[in-house]
Amino acid sequence: MYYDDFGTYRNVYHSLGGVYIQFGNMPANLRKLVKNHFVISFVPFGGSFDEFILPFVKELKEFEKGKVMSVQGQEAWVIAGLGVVTADLPQGNDLAGVQFQFILL
pLDDT value for 24: 81
What tens digit of pLDDT does each residue of 74-93 get?
999 988 887 776 666 666 66
Q: Supply the DSSP string of 13-51, one letter for each residue.
A: --EEEEEEE--TTS-HHHHTSGGG-EEEEEEPTT--HHH
Percent of the chain, pLDDT > 90? Answer: 14
Nearest in space to 82 (alpha carbons), one of 47, 46, 48, 53: 53
Q: Summarize pLDDT for 10-24 with one digit per residue, the tens.
A: 776 677 888 888 888
Q: What is the helix (H) or strand (E) element at residue 84, kind and residue range?
A: none
Residue 32 in this model has a pLDDT that exceeds 70: yes
More confident residue, 74 or 49: 74
Q: Which domain holds residue 33?
A: 2-96
In single-letter form, the type of residue at position 23 comes to: F
Domain total of the chain: 1
In a domain, 104, yes or no: no
Within a domain: residue 89?
A: yes
Average pLDDT over residues 51-59: 88
